[in-house]
Amino acid sequence: MKLHQKTFIITGATSGMGRAIALDFAKEGANLVLSGRDESRGKNLSEEIEENGGKAEFLAGDVGDMDYNQQLVELAIKSFGQLDGLVTNAGMLGLGSVTELEPSDWDITFRTNVDSVFYLLKFALPEMLKRPSAAVVVNSSIAAYKSFPNHPAYCASKAALLALAKQVAVDYGPTVRINTMCPGPVDTPFIHASAVAFPDPAQAVANAGKATLLKRLGLPADISKLALFLACDDSSWITGSAFTIDGGILAAG
């Protein structure tokens, strides 16, 4: 098992990519603290993991709240006695052009997408530094590199994550490794929510798959496999890097 007896906190764990990551990490022996807003989905996920022999704790809350992030770290230590890594997966869109977007929507997008990662790192790093090695996987987006109509808050916040991760790599290596995933269009509820910024949302989703060189949307399992690689010792000489996983959509131009 690639993550045997290691403890990870996974945010945004109750659906889509986060859920797939949680299930794959559990199969590889990780002890998990799961974060999400939906209490019912979180409990169901924890029960599914435990029914299959894994160990998981769920704590519902808002990742944009600093105290909640501290509680996640405290739960990991209380439940499992250690913290070996993070997968920061929670996110929101904040749709609207710059002139249309309310400042409050800009703020909450950055609070959810960027501040939450800073808060969790702030409380988790002291615990991870106690371990022989630790790994952080930050889920960003190709939106860090590519603009989309009416997505200024989302694109800017995802780009900020790349810079934050590189800075943490510089300041906390060699004990802590940190890398960023930049997914393209993945078949989750999130892409369908994002598509409402386009005149024909259903066609926008279909076009996103066709625009990739591999002619399909990504699957949550595609992303979870990369997350697992970056979290385990198979990537022990990789830190401060960003990995595009987009079916070739950026290469296509």
pLDDT tens track for 106-122: 999 999 999 999 999 99
Catalytic choice (68, 119, 145, 154): 154
CA distance 156 to 145: 9
Instruction: Reply yes or no on whether the pLDDT at 141 is more than 80.
Output: yes
Averaged pLDDT for residues 188-209: 86
> How does the average pLDDT of the chain come out, rounded?
96
- For residue 92, what are its two tokens? 């929101």
pLDDT at 54: 98
CA distance 168 to 171: 5
User: Closest Cα partner for 129 from 88, 168, 163?
Assistant: 168
pLDDT tens track for 227-239: 999 999 999 999 9
Q: What domains are there in the chain, each with its CATH number?
A: 7-189+219-241 (3.40.50.720)
Averaged pLDDT for residues 152-157: 97
Q: How far is CA 138 from the centre of its chain?
A: 5
N-terminal to C-terminal alpha carbon distance within the chain: 38
Instruction: Reply yes or no on whether the pLDDT at 196 is more than 90.
Output: no
Active site residue 145: no
- For residue 21, what are its two tokens? 């990551």
